[in-house]
A and B are shown apart, each in its own frame.
Chain A
């Protein structure tokens, strides 16, 4: 077991180096070949049959790691993209990212593509290029079933939990100052604190909360308030200069919206809670510049 794993790692590394070398060669004599172009973008990388996806590992329904396998809507979207770029499922390397390190991972090249509940906003656009959105979420509240909190206005004096440095946490700090904000480094800790009654609500995007509410051990204990107070378009992050890759991903998303693979990705993951698949609005896709 150990030896095979080691061998696999070395194999993967050699192939990665080989792929990188190929990419380098490509760009060196790009004038001659005139094929898919730049070796640094994901399109060039995908031609080597390998891609690294940055995903969340602690969000049920979206990106959840159990053992060494990842499941969720983001994972299915990643697979669709990989397929569209010609990368087989065996060529995908999953890498766990958290809210705070997504830009850094893209910039340093630790991951090629980030599909990790990644809200498109102007600050982030300065550092990375976004394809998508593939889903539009909204910030909402997760509360115990018996709670009287009916919306963000009722948060004054209440204890709200979110992940430090995330967009929802910032929103609470700026727009709902009377609420007390408890920050942890993961949503799982927030949900544990909610179950124990140490906080009154957990706040982040509605589909993430729905994922937690639908988890077996919390079934029937929590509810999502259902009054989103922000718009969070989820994008797919690639390197800032990779316009080609970004355009390609948008094309793949367009195709996925029509051929039913987007709906299937939803039905297999978040759709299990009974929510019908949303319409992927291809007219709202970014222009990748």
Chain B
């Protein structure tokens, strides 16, 4: 453990996980919003929107995340000149958030769509019968019930997202996997300690998160 008693090393470790935390929070917010919109598109009566939603899900769900993040840097930023900040680290961070969000949104969309299927057809029919529009039906009747049905799968998606966030390291953000590489490179004698501390940190944070989502899912489930 003496590797981590050096304040400089501890700093690398803490910054690494702070980046992961920030990436996860920002991307899960982005993915949730985007995913819900996509799910709404996929059940909408407009064929173009349905097609767009389907295409999005199929493209991003089936592309390796490494490639998406890589494209965000060398495509979006390098070629298309999409810049989010003049600060190098922040720019990489936001590029990473974009990549993680569009990727995770595909999974969120599918989870929510499966939630929509759990809402009995009679609910939507009743809403139509009292004169609600598609938008009203979706936002006031269907989505609230669907969302509550898919808390647990969403939890899994966000846990996966937290781990996927390490991939942003490929475009140079000093997140935990890069921090680990750095420490291992400088302390070859303590490879296992470093490895277990980093892997352990993920486990220690994510296992309770998983139980938390399970508890929440139980509490919010629609009793039928």
Q: Residues on A close to B: CB < 8 A?
A: 99-100, 103-104, 107, 123, 126-127, 159, 164-166, 170, 180-185, 192-193, 196, 198
A104→B191 contact, CB < 8 A = yes
Interface status of B87 (Cβ within 8 A of chain A): yes
Q: Which one of B169, B184, B188 has the highest number of Cβ atoms from chain A below 10 Å of its Cβ?
A: B188
Distance between Cα atoms of A107 and B184 in the complex (Å): 14
B178→A103 contact, CB < 8 A = no
Chain A residues whose C-beta falls within 8 Å of the C-beta of B4 in the assembled complex: none
Interface status of B139 (Cβ within 8 A of chain A): no
Distance between Cα atoms of A179 and B170 in the complex (Å): 20
Distance between Cα atoms of A183 and B173 in the complex (Å): 7
Interface status of B88 (Cβ within 8 A of chain A): yes
B188→A164 contact, CB < 8 A = no
Distance between Cα atoms of A196 and B75 in the complex (Å): 11
With A126-B189, A182-B172 already in contact, 4 other A-B pairs whose C-beta atoms are closer than 8 Å: A165-B184, A180-B89, A181-B88, A198-B78
User: Can you give 29 A-B contacts (C-beta < 8 A)?
Assistant: A100-B184, A100-B185, A103-B188, A104-B188, A107-B188, A123-B186, A126-B189, A127-B188, A159-B88, A164-B169, A164-B172, A164-B174, A164-B178, A165-B178, A165-B184, A165-B186, A166-B185, A170-B186, A180-B87, A180-B88, A182-B172, A183-B174, A183-B178, A184-B171, A185-B170, A193-B74, A193-B78, A196-B79, A198-B73
Chain A residues whose C-beta falls within 8 Å of the C-beta of B92 in the assembled complex: 182
Chain B residues whose C-beta falls within 8 Å of the C-beta of A183 in the assembled complex: 172, 174, 178
CB neighbors of A among B61-97 (8 A): 73-74, 77-79, 87-89, 92
A99→B185 contact, CB < 8 A = yes
Overall SS of chain B's interface? helix
Chain B residue at minimal CB-CB distance from A193: B78
Chain A residues whose C-beta falls within 8 Å of the C-beta of B189 in the assembled complex: 126-127
**B162-181 contact mask (Cβ, 8 Å, vs A): 1 or 0:** 00000001111010001001
Interface status of B182 (Cβ within 8 A of chain A): yes
Chain B residues whose C-beta falls within 8 Å of the C-beta of A127 in the assembled complex: 188-189
Distance between Cα atoms of A196 and B81 in the complex (Å): 10
Chain A residues whose C-beta falls within 8 Å of the C-beta of B182 in the assembled complex: 164-165
Chain A residues whose C-beta falls within 8 Å of the C-beta of B181 in the assembled complex: 100, 164-165
Distance between Cα atoms of A166 and B185 in the complex (Å): 8
Chain B residues whose C-beta falls within 8 Å of the C-beta of A182 in the assembled complex: 88, 92, 172
Distance between Cα atoms of A122 and B4 in the complex (Å): 21
A184→B78 contact, CB < 8 A = no
Chain B residues whose C-beta falls within 8 Å of the C-beta of A193 in the assembled complex: 74, 78
